[in-house]
């Protein structure tokens, strides 16, 4: 089932679809189809009339140096060029579809305020939670795989330890 259609059937209103372009996407080793070099993010609110947060100034004037497509002091567009996670982001273990910290920073800073609760129902390696913690947002993470919950815990403990040292 298409996620966008499912959201709309549930009454949600889609604000944007964002193309996350991965300039360093891994190759398709089978050689039987195109290499997947993007993912689609859906930004939706509970209903057409529901309020939502959009931090326009942060998106326009923030430091998004990792994105070759984002021009300084220009409005954020719906195609984001952000590399896949760097090796240092996987130092506690590996998740097959781990998202880069830079991607979650952009999402969280664009669409939430300090103190807002961030929910990730498929938290995987916990990148969303780590970024939420760094930017003072309470976090609720859910995953069905114990190994990934342990990975999230290890990454969180490492982050807290590094914050205490600085």
- pLDDT, tens digit, 9 for 90 and up, residues 59-74: 999 999 999 999 999 9
Across the range 112-121, mean pLDDT stands at: 97
* pLDDT score for 162: 85
CATH number of the domain where residue 9 is located:
3.40.50.150
* pLDDT score for 42: 96
CA–CA distance, 37 with 39 (Å, rounded to integer): 7
Of residues 28 and 51, more confidently modeled: 51
**Total domains in the fold of the chain:** 1
Q: What is the domain range of residue 116?
A: 3-165
Alpha carbon separation from 111 to 1, 41, 51, 57, 98 (Å, rounded): 26, 13, 11, 11, 21
Report H helices in the chain. Answer: 3-9, 56-61, 101-111, 127-134, 146-165
pLDDT digits (tens, 9 = 90+) for 132-144: 999 999 999 999 9
Asked whether residue 164 carries a pLDDT value surpassing 80, the answer given is no
* pLDDT score for 89: 87
Contact of 42 with 15, CB cutoff 8 Å: no
């Amino acid at each position: 089932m298409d996620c966008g259609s499912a959201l709309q059937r549930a009454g949600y209103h889609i604000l944007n679809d964002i193309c996350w372009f991965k300039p360093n996407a891994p190759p398709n080793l089978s050689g039987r189809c195109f290499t997947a070099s993007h993912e689609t993010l859906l930004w939706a609110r509970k209903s057409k009339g529901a309020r939502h947060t959009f931090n326009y100034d942060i998106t326009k004037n923030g430091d998004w140096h990792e994105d070759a497509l984002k021009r300084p002091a220009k409005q954020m567009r719906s195609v984001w060029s952000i590399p896949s996670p760097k090796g240092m982001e996987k130092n506690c273990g590996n998740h097959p579809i781990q998202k880069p910290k830079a991607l979650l920073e952009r999402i969280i800073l664009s669409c939430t305020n300090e103190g807002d609760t961030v929910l990730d129902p498929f938290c995987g390696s916990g990148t969303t939670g780590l970024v939420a913690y760094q930017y003072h947002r309470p976090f609720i993470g859910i995953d069905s795989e114990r190994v990934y919950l342990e990975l999230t815990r290890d990454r969180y403990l490492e982050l807290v330890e590094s914050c205490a040292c600085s």
